[in-house]
Structure 1
Amino acid sequence: MLQPKRAAILVTGADLAEPALALLSPFDIVYAGARPDEAQLVALCRQHQPVAIIVRYGRVTDTVMAASAGLRVIAKHGAGLDTIDCDAAARRGIAVKAAVGANAAAVAEHTWALILACAKNVPQLDQRMRAGHWDKSTHKSLELQGRTLGLVGLGAIGARVAAIGAAMGMHVIAHDPYAKAAPDGVPLLPLADVIAGSDVLSLHCPLTRDNANMLDAATLATMRPGAIVVNTARGGLIDEAALAGALQSGALRAAGLDSFHEEPMRPGHPFTGIANAILSPHIGGVSTDAYIGMGVAAANNILAVLAGVAEPAR
């Protein structure tokens, strides 16, 4: 007797954590590979007609959604939804879910790795020592105690970054128009005041039409001399040419960047030739624990929507 065909779930990546796969065992899992483009995703949707998509890499556009008539939910393997056409999903009645908080600890820790690397010149000192130099008599790092940490976004990640900053003796200020409350001692201020008042400015907000290039030449010019900029959110929040200019001129001490306008970054990008730009390949949320947590959260979000216990559209 023929077994009924199992419903499919498309993963826009090459793998998924075993605990997530166990939750999704009633489904056929289809992998799109590590760098799927729109044409590949459309072809897979047409072939397998998934009821759900787990988004790791690539973009899920209206064209991709249209290729699967029974698509009911798109679950992000992470927090940011900017790679999903949420407006198109809403029109189609397709739920869009983020794995909120699943990688918060990993991203917050990586944020502090970048802040400290910028303040203490860790990559540059490492390179100098490997070249035979001993800069003890000439080097001066930046002490963070007593300085101001400004956060744009005070969700699960930003709140963790704030707590660490406070523990290090920093003054913490924040901007978040969606925050109903802030940790004790953290004032919520207008965005312009946070940008202008920070010795270390760290971005932890989603990318929207309204905040694209929020750090441009004009806003960067308001920052304190020798300030540090860190971005573990989305590359589109920063005008990269303007930031490169501020770093090269010495207006800013350094920038720690984990996300970029175009990913992967192309060879020859201006940041690769700027010593005080400290770069990582959008891996802030990539840890063993976060990989499992994001996969399990995405799987549970799918199961909740398919079971009818979550709202059907974003």
Structure 2
Amino acid sequence: MSALPQQQASREVILVTGADLAEQAVALLSGYELVFAGKAPDEEQLVALARQHQPVAIIVRYGRITARVIEASARLRVISKHGTGIDTIDSEAAKQRGIAVKAATGANAAAVAEHSWALILACAKAVPQLDRRMHEGHWDKATHKSLELRGRTLGLVGLGAIGARTAAVGVALGMRVIAHDPFAASAPSGIELLPLAEVIAQSDVLSLHCPLTKDNANMLGAATLATMRPGAIVVNTARGGLIDEAALADALRSGAVRAAGLDSFQSEPVQPGHPFTGIDNVILSPHIGGVTSDAYVGMGVAAARNVLAVLG
């Protein structure tokens, strides 16, 4: 009777920085003990859990994996993101320890691309504003003009799995599609690769689909926003740090930017009183572009497989 508990206790640990993981991913990791950190773990909680359980892997859902978290487990071999963006992981600290950092590349591409288009269309057609006005008893048919996208220019920053899907819809809608991606040697048919400054300046709709790095932080600031076409739309389903939020708020208030659809922010969760919450022509969602039932399974399975690929 004592052999089974002894065997269970000796299993290597995987720390999940969240409260749950798709059952398909849990099944893949059945040979390991999973320790869940809860819905919103902070650094101190993650350090304590890493010290206590000495995980060989961390699957990152929420929270930041700092150098302190990494150093807390002498057995750590791989950090696997439950998603595509690894900017919440101190990759340099991991590299110094020889710890692999992996992302679930493409696992939520369809979900995020669809959400990007939900925001683009909502901005172009003013869907939330018209809905609110209707509920208030107004009928704005005589005064409202939506933006027709056919023939306009869609600019993309990033042409990976998400950007390419977003681009394909733009082509299907009859838009001119331009993109900047320093890692793309070529582009799919119907998409023109251009320098970043030209993509920003020529876009009627600018959609961001790139990782956040120290080199592109605040890529859209006062200076670059000033180069955009009058009445352009800005959509960000990537990382909030790509945009200087104060500069974008000014451009939205002045009407220089027609509308913005934002799913990610410099600091999350967004706090009450944030400037965006008082601006009518910005559409906000709480970083849920990749949150669908299918993507939840896909990201969990990809994260689990990335762990297994390293641990063997």
TM-score (norm. length: structure 1): 0.97
Q: Distance in 2 between matches of 1:34 and 1:255?
A: 29
1:51 pairs with one of 48, 56, 67: 56
One-letter amino acid of the structure 2 residue matched with residue 287 of structure 1: T
User: 1:29-178 alignment to 2 at 5 Å?
Assistant: 29-178=34-183
Per-residue Cα deviation, 1:83-128 (whole angstroms, up to 9, x for no partner): 0000110000000000000000000000000000000000000100
3-state SS of the aligned residue for 1:187? strand
Deviations 1:217-270 (A, max 9, x none): 000000000000000000000000000000000001000000000000011000
1:38 maps to a residue whose letter is E
Runs of 5+ consecutive residues of structure 1 not aligned to the other structure: 308-314
1:297 to 279, 282, 302: 302
Candidates 4, 7, 14, aligned match of 1:9: 14
Where has structure 1 moved over 3 Å in runs of 4 or more? none
- Aligned pair 1:286/2:274, yes or no? no
Deviation at 1:185, TM superposition (A): 2.1
The amino acid that maps onto 1:121 is: A
Q: Which amino acid aligns with 1:189?
A: L
Of 230, 246, 251 in structure 2, the residue corresponding to residue 241 of structure 1 is: 246
Partner Cα separation in structure 2 for residue 8 and residue 206 of structure 1: 29
Letter in 1 for 2:90: D
Moved more, 2-11 or 144-153: 2-11
In the TM superposition, residue 187 of structure 1 has moved relative to its aligned partner by 1.2
2:267 and 2:39 map into 1 onto residues whose CA distance is 16
Q: Which residue identity lines up with residue 225 of structure 2 in the other structure?
A: L
Which of 286, 296, 311 is the equivalent residue of 1:306? 311
Alpha-carbon distance in 1 for matches of 2:169, 2:189? 13
Separation in structure 2 between the aligned mates of residue 11 and residue 266 of structure 1, nearest angstrom: 26
1:221 to 212, 226, 235: 226
Amino acid at match of 1:292: V
> Mind listing any 5+ residue stretches in structure 2 that lack a counterpart?
none
> Take 1:100 and 1:88, find their aligned partners in 2: how far apart are those partners?
21
Instruction: Name the counterpart of 2:208.
Output: 203
Alpha-carbon separation, structure 2, partners of 1:33 and 1:225: 45
**In 2, Cα distance between equivalents of 1:212 and 1:62:** 21
- Identical aligned residues as a percent: 78
Counterpart Cα distance in 1 of 2:184 and 2:212: 16
Task: Count matched residues.
Answer: 307
Q: Is the aligned partner of 1:255 residue 2:260?
A: yes
Deviations 1:23-71 (A, max 9, x none): 0011111111111110000000011110000000100011001100000
